Amino acid sequence: MPYASLMRRLFSTLAHGAPGIGLLLLRLVSAIALLVQGYLSLLGRPPLGPTVFQAFSMALGILLLAGLWTPLAGSLVALVALWNVLSTEHPWRWIMLATVGAALALLGPGVWSVDARLYGWKQIKISDRRPSGQDSPS
């Protein structure tokens, strides 16, 4: 199976411990950056086009904050940030946000996320269905 390794890479490992805390911090920092930037941009009452764009950025920030659909949200954050790199005078914060978004898209949300609760590893317990007292069939 040559594609087995590739398929395993598409799914998050939902890291525990210190790596999980690191992913949580990456999600929190990028979400706060998107929410603050969007809020500050909307205070100036921009035209409809930039308003929709900033609202979309804020929605991505909320998704990252919750850890919901993290690979998709991280990819879209990277695209939004790269768009801002090309359209602003000071691109460095957007370059960093694009890098963090791409990292989250590749690494996944970590164990402290809604994704982990919805799509994480499940444990299935199979109990013995024989009534007590019946050890062997008669």
The answer to whether position 82 is within a domain reads yes
The pTM (predicted TM-score) of the whole model is 0.75
> Tell me: the pLDDT tens digits for 47-75?
888 889 889 999 999 999 999 999 899 99
Q: Which residues of the chain have pLDDT under 70?
A: 1-13, 121-123, 130-138
Domain that holds residue 63: 21-116
Catalogue the E-assigned strands of the chain. none
The answer to whether position 124 is within a domain reads no
Residue 49, CA atoms < 13 Å, CB-side half-sphere: 0
The answer to whether position 126 is within a domain reads no
**Rounded Cα distance, 11 and 119, in Å:** 10
Please give the tally of structural domains in the chain: 1
**pLDDT value of residue 8:** 46
**pLDDT value of residue 111:** 86
